[in-house]
Chains A and B, each alone.
Chain A
Amino acid sequence: MDYYKAETPEEAVGQMGQLTDEGLQAVYYAGGTEIVTNIRKGALKVDAFIDLKGIPEMHLIEVKDDKIILGANVTLNQIIEHPETAFLKPILDKIADHTVRNVLTLGGNICGRLPYREAVLPLLALDADIEVCAQEGVEIYKLRDLFDKRLKLPKGTFLYRIHLLKNRNTLFSRRETEHTAVDYPILHTVLYSDDKKRTVFMGISGFAAFPIYSVVDRKEETAEAVVKRMLQEVESLAKSDDRAGADYRLNLLQVHLNEWLGGKL
């Protein structure tokens, strides 16, 4: 397996294009928490890695007025510990464990193969924009436009930076595991009520085979009716696996929604 370390976004996409043209299978590499463990298991076989950790701006958390720009290589712990992004802590500090979060990157969590991608939930809730690096240059997308079960990046491109508006309302989140907390979620729920747009966001991970989100226009509906509608929308997607059954997942979602109803809206 070959290893390349890019120092600029152009170099990285260029390298990817070249390797692909040569008929080789290459992957972008950031924190490595998934890639390294999958290689050890023999579950991932590729010809080359293109390490993005040499691109300096991808490691930055920049705050300008009410805007936050997160480089995709920022680790979860950096976000958790940064005063301007600490509002994401209740969601991010439940992913993996502290040691892993020291290297687990935001971009890696969102773009990885594991079906949870929990870090995407608050970003979807807050309607983030993403910068994607392609051969032609950097392009900006709405995260919600590209995310469907997973982040559907154009071939050969990579997630470069994420733009957020500083959050005003509180993100509601609850996370359940089969038992001990350091485990994959059987349900991670993020709910966000946008008073200006009169919308309610629900994002869930661990519930189905992929993260699901929906944005509901509140119009004149009661909170209870909104919740009922959101529940109905996802009901049939509940999965049963080794960690929990579909009916238990549904019950937990109901409990989360009830707790949220009890607390706000």
Chain B
Amino acid sequence: MWKTELGKSFVRKEGKEKVTGQVRYGGDIEIPGLLHAATKTSPNAFARILEIDTSEAEQMPGVKIVFTGQDYDQNVGLYLSDKAIIARNVVRHYGEIVAVVVADTYKQALNAVEKIKVSYDVMTPVMSPSDALKPDAPLLHENMEAYSHIAPIHPEPGSNVANRTKVRKGDVGKAFSKADHVVDVTVEIPPGDHVAMEPRVAIAEIKKSGYVHITSSTQAPFVVKNLMSHFFDVDPGKIIVDVPMVGGGFGGKAGLQLEGLAYLLSKKAGGRPVRVVNTREDDLLASPGHIGLESHVKIAADAKGKILGMDLVFNFNSGAYADYAVNVSRAAAISCTGPYSVENVKCDSLCVYTNMPFATAYRGFGHIEMSFGIERAMDTLADQIGLDPVELRKINAIKAFDTTPVQSVLNASTGDIETCFTRVSEMLGGNLGEVEHVDAQHIKAKGIAGLWKAPAMPTNTDAGAILTFNSDGSCNLNVGVVEIGQGTKTGLAQLVSERLKLPMEKVHVVMPVNTSTSPSDWATAASRGLMMAGVAALEACDDAISQIKTIAASVLKAPERDLVYEAGQIFVSDDPTLSVSFAEVVLGYVYPNGNAVYGQVIGKGRYIAKHLTDVDQETGKGHPDLEWTLGAEGVEVLLNVNTGRYKITKAVCCMDVGKVVNPELARGQVVGGMAMGIGYTIMEGFKFNTRGQVTNGVLRDYKIMRYDDAPEYSVEFLETPQQDGPYGARGLGEQSVIGMPGAISNALSRAAKVSLNTIPMTPELIWKQMQKGGTK
């Protein structure tokens, strides 16, 4: 009997290659004749470019071309075409690329870059969303009305607003007028970076036949293909995007990034292969990072703590360009209340331009930012009412058949967040509202936060799977999901193994993605890989089994309905002595006399999101949310009241993921997300001087979390099945990042007896707040 191996922790398929250094990333690839690019970046945050003198650089040894913004007069952009390929006429953030040298060697390119002279007319930078929204604020994009954009986003030309998404549900004015309690909380998050281990890289080569070969560290090869075709007028079939493994993405490698630049450099260099690989500094500043936010959260509640309404303003800080940020602001609006059932909601979620490094997607996609303000406000409300913070959240927890802020109805697959809250509280030892005085200097406190997230994606988001077979009866799964360290391909292999009843070692997965041979797949983003490519993979398995049965039926001379299969054999169910192996049929059956029939089995599977719509521009009403992952998180902190220094001692998470396919990989994703959320909350973010220059644009100064900052992690899963997911599974990749700012700030605010509403929560900030005295 086949015994299910779903829920078994297989090691990841590519793991040994990764840990022994055998994996080749984009930066490792050698091509004869490969040219190398180096960049010149802007020291100014906002300036007109008066002149770029490239004459000396062009004469330097090995230099093939020098490229400036004048070389390409069109704009590009993911959702809003607001960006020149590199700065043209104006720079809008510190570290923006103003010129690129391509030379035979990287060193030659670097030497030539030093000879480029740029003169600027420096302007006063706009350094916060609130400044950018002032009526007399300088416009970053004076020509906004000329930019093309996708329908679901709503730019406001004549202002610095790249998108405004509105949510209007119920009657918020009425809710606030009859409230017993109202809280009003403002939180702030600076922009920062993903700091993926692998800096971004793209190689482009234009063949004489017109084919454009791109090798890229992208999470979204099909987006790259489609956008390049759109912006550079190349037939989509002539653009081949090849993605080896990617060393971490976290949203930062979705969209169109260095590929367009590499293509234009290759074009100017006569089609020769050109590699653009970011230095760490360019990866931090020239390429997009994570978004900032100023968020204003007002909650109205009755005497018992039932939330009556929320009035929300999210001013997202997109930096100089919109990239994914417009959709981040939209996604935050769609789930603006956090995982709470609220009848009356008003939200204006804006994507605002500033002269800071620009933002793209980041793990959580607007939810980590949105959640910080909501969860701080929830704790503030609990304090005001005198309710236990866990109780308040349970009273308001959203559940199946409630409506979301955009009035879409949650279906029966909705996870059980109430139990998540209970478990997180228990994992932390209960009594979340209380603090413990450990000694004269130290206070121990706990904090909790709820989380929810649905993928923010096009209504027609797709995935596909192709299953081919080998002579030993083993199979090869080919999907368009990129391996970015998340381990999805191992999870997908487990789904295939389960459906074909074939041991894991007989399921092979194609690791690289190539847009000319892999089936279409929207992007490896939004925690959708396992669910969507998983459904497609199962359909491909069913398709292959049906073909295998057809062949076996004729070999075994039995109707297909009487056939069963297991471990690579097909049996006649009522006479198991009659059988034929997968190996004998998957490449066509060969009779003893040599005659062959049927040919190879090729399984195909497809997925496309169903029933999705956009949201209404005035009310937000719609159904953009495919599936929701819900959960709760909490931390325990130990604070030194004399210095403000603290240690996060415990971090716990309980999440309803539908079905745990691979417990260790799932735990790894969740713990990784928690760690990222901790770093984001306690130490990350760009720092700026008064001229708008980033002063921590190197890893010496831009600090990310280290192992010795790590708490003890505990993770639990609930399994309320996702009815349209593969074996009930749903997305879990990003979600655990979301609750950490709320949980940490709530714990620290309780310990310090002040309101801590600013990220990063440095010890100095806490100490200063404590000096000023509590507002809590």
- Give the residue name and chain of the B residue nearest to A40 (CB): B279
A178 to B765, CA, bound (A): 10
Residues of the A chain whose Cβ atoms lie less than 8 Å from the Cβ of B645: 176
- Give the residue name and chain of the B residue nearest to A258 (CB): B642
A169 at interface (Cβ–Cβ under 8 A)? no
Among B704, B705, B762, residue most surrounded by chain A Cβ atoms (within 10 Å) = B762
Residues of the A chain whose Cβ atoms lie less than 8 Å from the Cβ of B687: 242
- Give the residue name and chain of the A residue nearest to B642 (CB): A255
Spot the interface stretch: B128-136, B363-371, B385-393, B695-703: B695-703
In B32-52, the 8 Å CB interface with A consists of none
A37 to B687, CA, bound (A): 21
A182 to B682, CA, bound (A): 15
Give the distance to chain A from B84, nearest Cβ to Cβ, in Å. 26
B764 at interface (Cβ–Cβ under 8 A)? yes
Give the distance to chain A from B266, nearest Cβ to Cβ, in Å. 27
Q: Is B703 a contact partner of A181 (Cβ separation < 8 A)?
A: no
A252 to B645, CA, bound (A): 10
Residues of the B chain whose Cβ atoms lie less than 8 Å from the Cβ of A181: 706, 708-709
A176 to B642, CA, bound (A): 13
Give the distance to chain B from A257, nearest Cβ to Cβ, in Å. 12
Spot the interface stretch: A18-26, A65-73, A243-251: A243-251
For chain B, give the interface size range: 20 to 34
Residues of the B chain whose Cβ atoms lie less than 8 Å from the Cβ of A183: 703
A179 at interface (Cβ–Cβ under 8 A)? yes
In B689-738, the 8 Å CB interface with A consists of 695-696, 698, 700-701, 703-706, 708-709
Assuming A251-B643, A255-B643, is B760 touching A179 (CB within 8 A)?
yes
Q: Is B764 a contact partner of A182 (Cβ separation < 8 A)?
A: no
Q: Is B683 a contact partner of A179 (Cβ separation < 8 A)?
A: yes
Q: Residue-by-residue, is A233-265 near B (CB-CB < 8 Å gives 1, otherwise 0)?
A: 000000000101100100110010000000000
Residues of the B chain whose Cβ atoms lie less than 8 Å from the Cβ of A182: 706
Give the distance to chain A from B41, nearest Cβ to Cβ, in Å. 12
B763 at interface (Cβ–Cβ under 8 A)? yes
Assuming A242-B696, A242-B701, A248-B768, is B643 touching A179 (CB within 8 A)?
no
Q: Residue-by-residue, is A214-247 near B (CB-CB < 8 Å gives 1, otherwise 0)?
A: 0000000000000000000000000000101100
A99 at interface (Cβ–Cβ under 8 A)? no
B10 at interface (Cβ–Cβ under 8 A)? no
Residues of the A chain whose Cβ atoms lie less than 8 Å from the Cβ of B642: 251, 255
Contact of A180 among B683, B695, B767 (CB under 8 A): B683
Q: Is B706 a contact partner of A179 (Cβ separation < 8 A)?
A: no
Residues of the B chain whose Cβ atoms lie less than 8 Å from the Cβ of A179: 682-683, 703, 760, 762-763
Give the distance to chain B from A264, nearest Cβ to Cβ, in Å. 18
Give the distance to chain A from B9, nearest Cβ to Cβ, in Å. 30
- Give the residue name and chain of the A residue nearest to B698 (CB): A41
Q: Is A178 a contact partner of B703 (Cβ separation < 8 A)?
A: yes
Q: Is A252 a contact partner of B703 (Cβ separation < 8 A)?
A: no
A41 to B546, CA, bound (A): 61
Q: Is A176 a contact partner of B643 (Cβ separation < 8 A)?
A: yes
Q: Is A252 a contact partner of B643 (Cβ separation < 8 A)?
A: yes
Q: Residue-by-residue, is A73-91 near B (CB-CB < 8 Å gives 1, otherwise 0)?
A: 0000000000000000000
Taking A178-B762, A179-B762, A255-B642 as known contacts, 15 extra A-B pairs with beta carbons closer than 8 A to each other, sorted by chain A number, are: A37-B700, A42-B114, A178-B763, A179-B683, A180-B703, A180-B705, A180-B708, A180-B709, A183-B703, A242-B687, A242-B695, A242-B696, A245-B764, A248-B768, A251-B642
For this complex, 28 residue pairs linking A to B, each with C-beta atoms less than 8 Å apart, are: A37-B700, A42-B114, A176-B643, A176-B645, A178-B683, A178-B703, A178-B762, A178-B763, A178-B764, A179-B682, A179-B683, A179-B703, A179-B760, A179-B762, A179-B763, A180-B703, A180-B704, A180-B706, A181-B706, A181-B709, A183-B703, A242-B695, A242-B701, A245-B764, A248-B767, A251-B767, A255-B642, A255-B643
